[in-house]
């Protein structure tokens, strides 16, 4: 029905073509300048947080493990949008004001860190204890065994879920529009507010998100294939 409405006359077709042509560049620019950088930066920072959180939960004392568990529980138990609002709109009430983009980086990084820590923790724990014992038997310390034996195997286990997390993060960056970050969805909102073609503009933005995620899915498949070729060798990691 919407397609019939879109194409009911030639004037409207020309109008939509003009809107699409004038909107595409700002949307792509928002994706390149804000959406993708925000996703990459927060994913890297989130992985760093996740790694140390996972280690704290596995090897830390009761205090460190308790802090890590509480952090993961709080982040996973509250909506991401609420977390962003607390950082950007709530902290100024106690004298802490952070610009939109850094606020988004903090919020998304903490969120990624909590969820990814569970992936990394599960990957490390999935490695059989015999691997640790074999490393200790040849004189390795726990740190050496972790770095040389366990982490390379855990990497293969964690790549698929972490890749999916990154693709999900790219889509979640649209929430940054709610704290005034001019990423792609924010651009779409601004454009739609000027021409009132909300469904068409949002559909155009959705199509760009889909293209980005489709490309990332292809990259993910290639990475996994390369890792499979690396580990699937005689006597290698199965």
Q: Which residue, among 222, 215, 223, has the nearest Cα to 36 in the 3D structure?
A: 215
Whole-number pLDDT of residue 234? 38
Of 16, 84, 23, the C-alpha closest to 206 is: 23
What is the pTM assigned to this prediction?
Answer: 0.88
51 within domain boundaries = yes
pLDDT band, very low/low/confident/very high, at 203 (cuts 50, 70, 90): very high
Q: Is residue 144 part of a domain?
A: yes
- Mean pLDDT value of segment 192-197: 91
CATH code, 153 = 1.10.3720.10
Output the pLDDT for position 90.
96
Is the distance from CB of 47 to CB of 116 less than 8 angstroms?
yes
Question: Which has the higher per-residue pLDDT, 145 or 15?
Answer: 145
Within a domain: 195? yes
Any domain includes 170: yes
Cα–Cα distance, 23 to 20 (Å, whole number): 5
* Total count of domains within the chain: 1
In a domain, 237, yes or no: no
Q: Which domain holds residue 198?
A: 2-231
236 located within any domain: no
Residue 5: band (very low, low, confident or very high) from pLDDT cuts 50, 70, 90: low
Q: What are the angstrom distances between the C-alpha of 74 and each of 6, 25, 115, 137?
A: 46, 39, 11, 40
Does 123 fall in a domain?
Answer: yes
């Amino acid at each position: 029905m919407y397609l019939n409405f879109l194409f009911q006359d030639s004037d409207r077709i020309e109008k939509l073509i003009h809107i699409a042509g004038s909107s595409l560049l700002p949307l792509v620019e928002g994706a390149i300048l804000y959406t993708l950088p925000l996703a990459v930066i927060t994913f890297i920072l989130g992985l760093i947080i996740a790694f140390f959180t996972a280690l704290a939960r596995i090897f830390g004392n009761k205090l460190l493990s308790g802090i890590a568990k509480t952090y993961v529980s709080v982040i996973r138990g509250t909506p991401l949008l609420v977390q962003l609002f607390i950082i950007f709109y709530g902290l100024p009430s106690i004298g802490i004001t952070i610009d939109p983009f850094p606020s988004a980086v903090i919020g998304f990084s903490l969120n990624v860190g909590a969820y990814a820590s569970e992936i990394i923790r599960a990957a490390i724990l999935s490695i059989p204890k015999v691997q640790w014992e074999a490393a200790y038997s040849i004189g390795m310390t726990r740190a050496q065994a972790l770095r040389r034996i366990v982490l390379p195997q855990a990497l293969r286990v964690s790549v698929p879920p972490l890749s999916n997390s990154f693709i999900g993060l790219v889509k979640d960056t649209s929430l940054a529009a709610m704290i005034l970050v001019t990423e792609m969805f924010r651009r779409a909102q601004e454009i739609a507010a000027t021409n009132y073609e909300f469904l068409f503009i949002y559909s155009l933005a959705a199509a760009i998100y889909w293209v980005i995620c489709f490309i990332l899915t292809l990259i993910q498949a290639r990475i996994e294939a390369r890792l499979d070729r690396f580990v699937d060798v005689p006597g290698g990691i199965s």
